[in-house]
Each structure stands twice: as structure tokens, then as C-alpha cells.
């Protein structure tokens, strides 16, 4: 990776983290519409089956691309598999769609 690309990624990551930290502070995650995510997709995520969680959350988003919580969960799964650019992209999508509470517990 070139220095320019690495520098750009670091700046992008810093901005994304700053945006995420702005919305931290709740005991549960919910979108502006209070939507829920898919039970099978969330089960895979909870069981740390990240490849399945990614595939299932992508399927959820094909049916409802405005599901902020599904974008958040997909971002988390991407992050756990080392795909940080995809992770950040999904977190930013979740934020744009109204996700304001960012705690997995």
C-alpha cells in the first residue's frame, strides 16, 4: 500500500470514528424508525459466524436498504473479518439512515 493510500485510509478512519463516537451512549441500538434486524442474520452475528452474518445481512439489505440497524450489524461483521473500509462504509450508511444508539449489548 502506498503512503498516500495509507494516509487517506487513516484520515477516513479517523473521521468515521469521530462520527461514531458522537452517537455513542445508549444501552441498545435502534434506528430512527425503530426497525429490527433479521433473526437469522443476528443469530449468525451473535455466534461469531461472520461470513454467514455478512451474507445474511446483505440479503436483509437487498430487501430493505434503508434498514440502519442491518447496515450497523453488517459493518460490525465486516470489521470482525478485517474489512475495515467496508466496515466504515456500513457505519456511515447506518448514520445517514438515522442510527443514533450504538451499543451492541
For the stretch 11-44, pLDDT in tens is 666 566 555 544 433 323 444 444 568 999 999 9
pTM of the model: 0.66
Contact 54/77 with Cβ under 8 angstroms?
yes
Contact 73/41 with Cβ under 8 angstroms?
yes
**Which of 33, 44, 103, 38 has its CA nearest to residue 68?**
33
Domain 3-96 CATH assignment equals 1.25.40.10: yes
Question: What pLDDT, on the 0 to 100 scale, is given for residue 100?
Answer: 74
- Write down the mean pLDDT value for the chain: 77
In whole angstroms, what is the distance from residue 28 CA to residue 49 CA? 21
Q: Which residue has the higher pLDDT, 3 or 70?
A: 70
Amino acid at each position: 500500500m502506498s503512503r498516500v493510500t495509507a494516509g487517506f485510509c487513516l484520515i477516513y478512519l479517523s473521521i468515521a470514528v469521530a462520527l461514531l463516537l458522537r452517537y455513542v451512549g445508549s444501552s441498545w441500538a435502534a434506528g430512527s424508525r425503530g426497525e429490527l434486524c433479521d433473526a437469522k442474520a443476528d443469530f449468525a452475528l451473535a455466534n461469531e459466524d461472520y461470513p454467514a452474518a455478512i451474507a445474511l445481512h446483505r440479503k436483509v439489505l437487498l430487501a430493505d436498504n434503508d434498514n440502519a440497524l442491518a447496515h450497523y450489524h453488517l459493518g460490525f461483521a465486516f470489521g470482525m473479518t478485517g474489512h475495515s473500509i467496508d466496515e466504515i462504509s456500513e457505519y456511515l450508511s447506518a448514520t445517514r439512515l438515522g442510527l443514533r444508539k450504538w451499543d451492541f449489548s
